A and B are shown apart, each in its own frame.
Chain A
Amino acid sequence: MTPDLLEQGARRIQERQAALDANKSNTESGGRSASGSRIATPGEVDVTHGRILYLEDVSVSFDGFKAINKLSLDIAPGELRCIIGPNGAGKTTMMDIITGKTRPDEGTVFFGSTIDLLRYKEAEIAQLGIGRKFQKPTVFEHLTVFENLELALKTNKGVKASLFFRLDSLQSDRLADILVTIHLADSVNRMAGNLSHGQKQWLEIGMLLMQDPKLLLLDEPVAGMTDEETARTAELFLTLKGKHSLMVVEHDMSFIRTISEIVTVLCDGSVLAQGTLDEVQANEKVIEVYLGR
């Protein structure tokens, strides 16, 4: 072989590797690591197939009304997915199903490849690593900001463990870190009930972070926030992306534009369109649903 052929070959391998690396963030097949012979650890999220959440053909109806209709959706690890859709599209119901609050009539919901979420209760799902922020900020009003965060901390949550629980220094550091992140360091000892609406939203996000979840479901996280708070939230979510998977339901389009990669449009309980924000905004069906043409 001539030296230039060798060089060409080396270049080709490099290019191929670069192309593979570039593609990695989109999706991966899992390759060899996803073979049947790998060890599946019970209770641990298995994302070798490149998906942390799968919903397939999920349907649920309330008194004959199909809130969710053959919904199929999946999210990659580290992805920040935005969900939009008109009122009553089933966004909150979908989160209820994922977190165990509502049981679907049919369909499958998997966390990673191995964990069938339909077999767990709310508290167990939270411990598996799915955190949820509610539409209306839900914090413990009669406890201080500190106590709120302490309760959310990822630790043994049994009765006996709670009776004798003491924050160790590592946990204190984490708590202090998150206090700074959510800009509530000056309000450690304030009652959560006395916080402003935006601060409550932040506190709830902070509580989610204390849980250290692999997947965060955020239902209208910036509702009622000032522009400055919204901008900070966007910044925070962008830092979380990659380390955690996020599913954000929002109506605020400028917020979505700041943070989104892929946007999923829900309508009448199933996926109407999916793509970048520009793509879905140009989509005829989406325009029809939103403008009622």
Chain B
Amino acid sequence: MSHPTTTVVLPTKGPLLTRTGWSVFMMALIAVCAVAPVLNLWVPDSSMFHMSTYAVALLGKIMCYAIAALAMDLIWGYTGILSLGHGLFFALGGYVMGMYLMRQIGRDGNYKSDLPDFMVFLDWKTLPWHWTFSDSFAATLLLIVLVPGVVAFVFGFFAFRSRIKGVYFSIITQAMTFAAMLLFFRNETGFGGNNGFTDFKRILNIPLATPSMRMTLFVMTGLTLLGFFLFAKWLVGSKFGRVLQAIRDAETRVMFSGYNPLGYKLAIWVISAVMCGVAGALYVPQVGIINPGEMSPANSIEIAIWAAVGGRASLIGPIVGAFIVNGAKSWLTVAYPEYWLYFLGLLFIGVTLFLPAGVVGLVKKLRGGDK
């Protein structure tokens, strides 16, 4: 090819985070690992700087939600696949952790039996097969990743191979979590029926209901959130991440460029599900209960709302969204409990109509930044 010689400056791969990005990240890290523990554990109750146990519990919970929102953003914001079933993966991770916590109760339950209380109540004599590894913490950690991962893989493989897309996929995921909820509601499936698991006493033989244990879980959650954030940043910054965005924008072009979208969709779907499962596992010991209500369709929709409010296809967006919506929720459900659902609905409609890029998009716009 003959053409005039021009020097072309190709862009080089940018760093994982910008300098400002790293400073904000380090501040968040310090806030989670140092400031919060000090304010909660060492600053006396009387001081105005004291961080209450309520605040620790609330923020810890919201950070779990933020992980779920981040996971949702990877599959919805970046790949364009709206899942309305992520609550299932969250709950699966939670149930795996819940089973372990039930076993940790030991003989301290109401019936003073080796079996969890609800099994004694159902007059079961032995543990069902799927509780086999529930007394091992290591196995529990493994299963927190494996159970949501395998469920997502099997579901995703068939859905993506059949090229189910758009609203059809969303409806099927919604049906999936609803079906799972009905299954978990049943007593004979061995998940504690509609009461689920609660009354946890210990984790790793250490009592749960102590300030230091609460703080430990809080810090663990914060570190997980920050870690997942960096991981997600790396993912979307790689060529893999750009293929995902390409699938979102023009899937046929991706195929005719020689990529098989199945592998890509499946990979991000499973990654997203596992992140959600980990969030659920961190959530359960902090709130002290897991029941099939976590799998209700409304919960999954809420995850999508957090991501939409914060801003899709920007990793910080869903985290911000989870904090805004849940902060508003914890205040509104106390102040005006009957109006919360109306507010949530209005928020979703408002954001969809007026803020397609979410709060983060609005901030970017106000600062005059392009892109």
Contacts and interface: CB of A to CB of B under 8 A. Distances in A.
B9 A143 contact: no
A239 B1 CA distance: 7
A82 interface: no
Contact of A122 (B11, B239, B256, B371): B256
A74 interface: no
B10 A146 contact: yes
Interface residues of B, number: 36
Contacts of A99: 256
A267 to B, nearest CB: 26
CB-based closest 7 A-B pairs: A126-B258, A176-B8, A122-B255, A165-B239, A123-B260, A162-B240, A127-B258
Contacts of A157: 257-260
Interface stretch (A8-16, A48-56, A179-187, A253-261): A179-187
Contacts of B8: 176, 179-180, 185, 188
A175 B6 contact: no
Contacts of A147: 242
Contacts, number: 109
B316 interface: no
A241 B219 CA distance: 63
Contacts of A293: none
A177 interface: yes
Given A138-B252, A140-B246, A151-B254, 5 more contacts: A126-B257, A139-B250, A151-B239, A159-B240, A180-B3
A141 B238 contact: no
A151 B10 contact: no
A159 B254 CA distance: 13
A165 B258 contact: no
A169 B255 CA distance: 26
B124 to A, nearest CB: 43
A141 B1 contact: no
A87 interface: no
Interface in A124-158: 124, 126-127, 131-132, 134, 138-144, 146-147, 150-152, 154, 157-158
B230 to A, nearest CB: 15
Contacts of B2: 239
Contact of A142 (B3, B6, B249): B249
12 contacts: A101-B252, A123-B261, A126-B255, A126-B258, A146-B10, A151-B246, A157-B260, A159-B267, A162-B239, A163-B238, A164-B238, A188-B11
Contact of B260 (A121, A139, A179, A189): A121
A61 interface: no
Contacts of B1: 177, 181, 239
Nearest to A165: B239
Nearest to B259: A157
B253 A140 contact: yes
A32 interface: no
A159 B262 CA distance: 10
Interface of B: 1-4, 6, 8-11, 13, 235, 238-240, 242-243, 245-246, 248-250, 252-261, 263-264, 267, 313, 371
A123 B1 CA distance: 28
Contacts of B239: 150-151, 162-163, 165
A166 interface: yes
Contacts of B246: 140, 143, 151
Given A162-B238, A166-B13, A207 B257 contact: yes
A124 B255 CA distance: 9
A191 B8 CA distance: 17
Contacts of A181: 1, 3
A172 interface: yes
Nearest to A166: B13
A211 interface: yes
Contacts of B10: 146, 167, 172, 175-176, 188
Given A138-B253, A185-B6, A185-B8, A123 B243 contact: no
A134 B6 contact: no
Nearest to A217: B256
Name which of A140, A166, A180, A188 has the most chain B CB atoms within 10 A of its CB. Answer: A140
A111 to B, nearest CB: 14
B263 A159 contact: yes
A143 B254 CA distance: 13
A101 B254 CA distance: 13
Contacts of B371: 191
Contacts of B9: 188
Name which of B245, B258, B260 has the most chain A CB atoms within 10 A of its CB. Answer: B258
A127 to B, nearest CB: 4
A287 B309 CA distance: 60
A152 B257 contact: yes
Contacts of B235: 163
Contacts of A122: 252, 255-256
Nearest to B9: A188
B245 A142 contact: yes
A207 B246 CA distance: 13
A174 B253 CA distance: 21
Interface in A188-204: 188-189, 191
Contacts of A185: 6, 8
A191 B252 CA distance: 19
A154 B258 CA distance: 8
Contacts of A167: 10
A163 B2 CA distance: 35
B11 A165 contact: no
Nearest to A167: B10
Contacts of A159: 240, 263-264, 267
A140 B3 contact: no
A211 B242 CA distance: 17
A144 B8 CA distance: 15
Contacts of B267: 159
B98 to A, nearest CB: 32
A150 B259 CA distance: 13
